[in-house]
Amino acid sequence: MIKLYQLHPSGNCYKVRLLLHQLGIPFETVETNISAGETRTPEFKAKNPIAKVPTVELEPGVFLAESNAILWYFAEGTPLIPSDKLERARMLQWMFFEQYSHEPYIAVARAWIAFYGVPPGKERELEERIQKGYAALDVMEGELKKRPFFAGERYSIADIALYAYTHVADEGRFDLSRYPAIRSWFERVQAQPRHLRLSDAVPPATR
Amino acid sequence: MIKLYQLHPSGNCYKVRLLLHQLGIPFETVETNISAGETRTPEFKAKNPIAKVPTVELEPGVFLAESNAILWYFAEGTPLIPSDKLERARMLQWMFFEQYSHEPYIAVARAWIAFYGVPPGKERELEERIQKGYAALDVMEGELKKRPFFAGERYSIADIALYAYTHVADEGRFDLSRYPAIRSWFERVQAQPRHLRLSDAVPPATR
């Protein structure tokens, strides 16, 4: 069975749980204590040299890392990746935007504020991250005024990638009340078949 | 003709020039002065709401952004994307690694040191970025001891994505002499047909 090395509250790990559940792919999870350095051991780095979760074990000894690459792997050949070439590239555009211009600000602010505390001396850096996080939300709001989902007319893995940390951005003190188009999109994402919430326990491994 | 909005010394823009040249796709460039705010005008944001270069105009009024998504778009259906499903996902894994764990450290250190100067008050942040940049180089060195290219036995767009800033990391004061596997990989990348150097002028638009 697919094994997901994860930290449950991580949005990056939630992306993978949400997709696997929506696709009806059974999986089990291995909770990984990042704070205790469990991703930095030689044993873990043999699974994923980048030393991060999520990491999936596809079959014994075969690993794949980076949340958005994992989404791609499982969604290939399903309606969650657009069949049109340009829409597919646009989907990837928004997934790279998520990792470069969104996650480092919104996810890190949430991690510091809601989980780990702001590291000493990083108060000014937190303010910068919040400012850049709002810039990412502004971009998303503008897009969602124009189309229902990031890759076009249909829900895709770009929506999963961006939903993961955006819908809990308030835990990083982001005020989402100013973003009506984003909040409408939350409802469309949550209305998809077999939606799973971030806080939901891992579903039983049944199709 | 394909139009590439770019800043010539940017590694992210170089990725696109290198790929288009290797594929024999004619293109023209529009030099964009980021420092003068030219990506932040309403006119530019109508092209790319993320307000960054590279941005390509595929046909009049049709734009695509994010360097690695642009690589995907043009390389689809060519030998520069592996035909094997797992190798394809691994290629994307390394492209997301590049944008999350490599570019923010190696490219930003280079930009500050070689082009713009370290922003006031960011000296400690520069040291952190250099440290994380070395961590990324360590991961690359480990991989390249095991296989000739990032997606496996063949050159792919993951190599283009990672080569772009790694081969000029010395401009960010990274000491590459400690990375023999990375330096051998540089030679393999440079030996590919129709290689183009970062400093090369845009090739004439001929197939």
Residue A203's pLDDT band, with cuts at 50, 70 and 90, is confident
The answer to whether residue A49 neighbours chain B at the CB level (below 8 Å) is yes
The overall average pLDDT reported for chain B is: 96
The residue of B100, B127, B143 whose CB has the most chain A CBs within 10 angstroms, and thus the best one to mutate to test that interface, is B100
DSSP state of B78: S
Query: Residue B181 pLDDT > 70, yes or no?
Result: yes
Which one of B66, B101, B104 has the shortest CB-CB distance to A50? B101
**CB-based contacts of B79, cutoff 8 Å, min separation 6:** B154
Q: List pLDDT tens digits, range A11-48.
A: 999 999 999 999 999 999 999 999 999 999 999 999 99
What is the per-residue pLDDT for B205?
A: 60
Which one of B67, B69, B93 has the shortest CB-CB distance to A65? B93
Kindly state which CATH superfamily the domain B2-75 is placed in: Glutaredoxin (3.40.30.10)
Query: Residue A207 pLDDT > 50, yes or no?
Result: no
Q: What is the ipTM of this complex?
A: 0.97
Q: List pLDDT tens digits, range B72-105.
A: 999 999 999 999 999 999 999 999 999 999 999 9
Q: Provide mean pLDDT across the span B17-23.
A: 98
What is the per-residue pLDDT for A205?
A: 60
* Chain-chain contact of B89 with A73 (C-beta, under 8 angstroms): yes
* Chain-chain contact of A96 with B68 (C-beta, under 8 angstroms): yes
| Cβ A1 vs Cβ A56: under 8 Å | no
Q: Provide mean pLDDT across the span B200-205.
A: 78
**Cβ neighbour number for residue A149 with a 10 Å cutoff:** 21
**Which CATH number applies to A85-190: 3.40.50.720, 1.20.1050.10, 3.10.20.30, 1.25.40.10?**
1.20.1050.10
The answer to whether residue B66 neighbours chain A at the CB level (below 8 Å) is yes
Measured between beta carbons, which residues in chain A are less than 8 angstroms from residue B127?
Answer: none
* Chain-chain contact of B90 with A69 (C-beta, under 8 angstroms): yes
Query: Residue B206 pLDDT > 80, yes or no?
Result: no
* Chain-chain contact of A99 with B96 (C-beta, under 8 angstroms): yes
Residue A178's pLDDT band, with cuts at 50, 70 and 90, is very high
The answer to whether residue A93 neighbours chain B at the CB level (below 8 Å) is yes
The answer to whether residue B46 neighbours chain A at the CB level (below 8 Å) is no
Which one of A85, A96, A101 has the shortest CB-CB distance to B76? A85
The residue of B74, B88, B99 whose CB has the most chain A CBs within 10 angstroms, and thus the best one to mutate to test that interface, is B99
| Annotated domain spans of chain B | 2-75, 85-190
Residue B207's pLDDT band, with cuts at 50, 70 and 90, is very low
Q: List pLDDT tens digits, range B22-54.
A: 999 999 999 999 999 999 999 999 999 999 999
**CB-based contacts of B77, cutoff 8 Å, min separation 6:** none
> What residues are paired with B198 via a beta bridge?
none
The overall average pLDDT reported for chain A is: 96
**CB-based contacts of A171, cutoff 8 Å, min separation 6:** A110, A113, A114
- Judge whether B2-75 and B85-190 match in fold: no
Is the previous residue joined to B54 through a cis bond, with omega within 30 degrees of 0?
yes
CB neighbour burial string for B79-108, b if at least 16 within 10 angstroms, e if fewer: ebbbeeeebbbbbbbbbbbbbbbbbbbbbb
The answer to whether residue B119 neighbours chain A at the CB level (below 8 Å) is no
* Chain-chain contact of B90 with A104 (C-beta, under 8 angstroms): no
Which one of A64, A99, A121 has the shortest CB-CB distance to B90? A64
What is the per-residue pLDDT for A117?
A: 97
* Chain-chain contact of B92 with A69 (C-beta, under 8 angstroms): yes
